[in-house]
Chain A
Amino acid sequence: MNLSSRYLILLPLLCSSVSAQEQKPEPAAPAAAATVAQPAAPSNSQAPELFGVEFPLLDPASDTVSYKGGVFDVGNNAVVRARFEKYLQQNPDVSEDARKYRDKLEELVHVTQRNARSGKAVGGENMVQIGHGLYEMSEYPPDGGQSGALASAMASALAVQFANRKRDRENDKLQAEIDELVAHTNRLTNLNTGRGGRTPGASSRGNGKGKTSGGNAANTHSVKISHNTRKIAGHEAAQVKNDAESTAALALSKVNYQSMLVSLLLSRRFDHALIGANSYRHIFRDGDTTLKLEKDSQADKLFRNTAGMPPTVNSIASAASTARREVDQHMEAVNNLLEQNKLSDATQHLIEAVAVGEYMSSVSTFPAEKRRRIAEYWSLRRRVLTSLNARDYGTAEEIAKRMKELDRDFDDAMVMSYCAGKKQQSDLALRNAVKALQDGNDEEFNKYITEAGEIWPRNPRLAEGRRKLETIDSHDPVKQEFKTLISRGEFRTIFNEQTRFEVVAVDPELKEQYRDAITLISTIDGMLTQLDVAAQQDRVIGPCMAYEMLLDKKKEDERYASDPLFNDALNRYALAGHDFVQALEQAAECEKRDELGSALACYYRAQCIYPGSRMARAGAERVAQLILQAKF
């Protein structure tokens, strides 16, 4: 049988989960409902149903379930999630009772597998041993009564078999009586026709009497023949009745037992299903193991489609064995992946192992420490999904990074690229909104700002934009004040309140002035800071150098002179480098009066105080050239 047990695993579970998602209550599946999935997802309510329940399809390639036209992620399904989280928070079942239970279960599986391989019929003692073992296991609470139910089903089936055998024996007895009656009747008939010997009564009374009473004896035989005939007919009717009862009881017994097996399979009690399936041949010895499935039901289609042959009890045994093996393989993979710190893959394997074989030993004894590691990772995965659902892409990216830290093999490309794309979409819409605002197009602005918020509600630039919008209401007064300050050259006031005046940048012309003012004051502040440091380092040359540099700047750009801090610094350095400043000023004054001898001496004096002075050197060179060219 090539049907993967993964198609069987979540059937009852996902039925309820999908129903919960659609908020349409489905009829509860009976515990004994024989259900299987079909490869093609039904897309309408006309799909065939088995016992009133239809089942979804799990796609192992994508871990999604198709149901009624919808596709659901197993890892993001509420019920799957809840059951998996419950499992992660449980302690491993390692008690003494649990160990005994698992040992007994394993023993019965081995016994029944040995019986199944045996060519001989298993005796009643063996079946009684299995039944006792099952009843013993049913006393363990986590068993949930499944063992007892299987034992009862086996006992019921055996009881039917015993009743049938009793009826068979009755029929044999009736047949013997019928044969005797037929023989007796034949003899009486021969006597009546004179072809036979004496009647049984005449033979015991003598020859003379027999001949004289011939007419009356014939009448007597006729009555007996009639009586025998009625009796034969009654026996035959009883035989038919017994046969009919046996046939009906056997058929019902098989259906009941097969239902139990399918129920165990679907409730993921694979060990129990295997025990029941392996015992089937020894309970029903007629050799007929065909599953009595309703024609065209989903279960019938499943088994028929997978093999193309009539489904048998062996199909169930095969499916249970495959599921057990897969679960063990999943758990082996989980342990190996955890050793390699590959939490993402380990989590995925554990989900599938729990979904398939929640009650299996390898799953229920999974250590608590490993459960906690996976629980932490699972929690992050949940938060990523929640964040994505809430369109909180910033948080989703942060969590994805954390998951990447925990598991370097975690493939965060999908999350990160998805978030980046959405954020860019939102930012693009915001940019368009800003452009619309600049163009004065309110309609376009409202459209784009709404779009940006819908794509990424927690976009931080939205809050920034909101603040701008709030301040833009006071746009005109601020604009006027800004113009006034510019005309007065009060750039430092603009700089000090740049946040308030930022709104004027909406106007391209004012934006340029705003930027120039901020740049100017920033330059002045940076320059004054550097000059202060230099002046502190050399208290003689430092102030002279600072003064000369500030004076140069003042000549270069008259806006410098409008800044009070600049002027304060200029005065401060002029005071600190008084002799140097006085020499320069005196030189300039003498130069104006054509007192070039004095002017040159003053420039020399300034150079003596600050040898690096550009102004003194330039002045000295200029005056010296004039003197050299003069005639005396």
Chain B
Amino acid sequence: MARRSKRKSRRGNSNTSMLLIIAAVVVLVVVAGALALKPSQREQSHSLEQGQGFSVEDYRRDASRFTGNVYRIEGRVEHIETLGNDRIVAVAVPGNRQERLPLLVRSGAAGRVNLTRGDSFLFEVECCTGHTDDRREVKGVLVVRNVETK
């Protein structure tokens, strides 16, 4: 369900021309291969991976470890906490009814989707670190980027 994405780094070598040549060749080969396989994913800086690697228990222990990662999570809305137009939604993930995963839904993040208790949705979330007005850090919060009905 969840899709994991990896960011590839580009390396450059300006020390030797040989190395430059070899690198250029490699880059060309790689770019050509990537364009040939999936041209749409190349446009995203973050890749998504479903069904692998995300554990609610792990998240409870140390959420900041997931900072920067983006996930697609399916869950049923169990509880909603609001402040203005922002909401924190507690969702129960399939197969683990004894846990609730807190998701921050900023105003407009859900688009036209109406989040109601008892309904299941697909949430695209990113683990972020923020701060409060008094400069207190707020680590490991799953911020919803997109919501789809299921």
Listed in ascending order, the chain A residues whose CB lies under 8 Å from chain B are 586, 590, 593-598, 600-602, 604-605, 607-609, 620-621, 624-632
Contacts and interface: CB of A to CB of B under 8 A. Distances in A.
A625 B83 contact: yes
Contacts of B128: 632
Contacts of A596: 138-141
18 contacts: A593-B139, A595-B64, A596-B140, A597-B59, A597-B64, A604-B100, A608-B100, A625-B83, A626-B138, A627-B88, A627-B102, A628-B86, A630-B131, A630-B132, A630-B138, A631-B131, A632-B129, A632-B130
Given A607-B100, A629-B132, A631-B131, A602 B60 contact: yes
Given A628-B81, A628-B86, A601 B60 contact: yes
B70 interface: no
B61 interface: yes
A630 B64 CA distance: 15
B93 to A, nearest CB: 11
B100 to A, nearest CB: 3
B43 interface: no
A518 B133 CA distance: 50
A598 B63 contact: yes
A331 B106 CA distance: 109
Given A604-B99, A608-B100, A629 B60 contact: no
B132 A598 contact: no
B90 interface: yes
Contacts of B136: 594, 626
A607 B97 CA distance: 12
Interface of B: 56, 59-64, 79, 81-84, 86-88, 90, 97-102, 104, 127-133, 136-143
Contacts of B60: 586, 590, 598, 601-602, 605
B96 to A, nearest CB: 10
B141 A597 contact: yes
Contact of B100 (A601, A625, A626): A601
A616 to B, nearest CB: 11
Which of A597, A607, A627, A632 has the most CB atoms of chain B within a 10 A radius of its CB? A597
B86 A609 contact: no
A605 B81 CA distance: 16
Which of B79, B130, B132, B141 has the most CB atoms of chain A within a 10 A radius of its CB? B141
Contacts of B59: 597-598, 601
Contacts, number: 103
B99 A629 contact: no
Given A598-B63, A601-B59, A624-B88, A609 B102 contact: no
A597 B140 contact: yes
B141 A630 contact: yes
A618 to B, nearest CB: 13
A45 B83 CA distance: 113
Contacts of B61: 586, 598
Given A594-B139, A608-B99, A626-B136, 17 more contacts: A586-B61, A593-B139, A595-B62, A597-B64, A597-B102, A597-B140, A600-B88, A602-B60, A624-B102, A627-B102, A628-B84, A628-B87, A629-B83, A629-B132, A630-B131, A630-B141, A632-B141
A583 to B, nearest CB: 8
Contacts of A620: 81
Contacts of A621: 81
A602 to B, nearest CB: 5
A632 B83 CA distance: 15
Contacts of B138: 594, 596-597, 626-627, 630, 632
B41 to A, nearest CB: 25
B78 to A, nearest CB: 9
Contacts of B131: 630-631
B104 to A, nearest CB: 6
Contacts of A601: 56, 59-60, 63, 99-102
Contact of B140 (A595, A604, A628): A595
Contact of B104 (A595, A607, A628): A628
A620 B102 CA distance: 10
B134 to A, nearest CB: 10
Nearest to B134: A629
B70 to A, nearest CB: 13
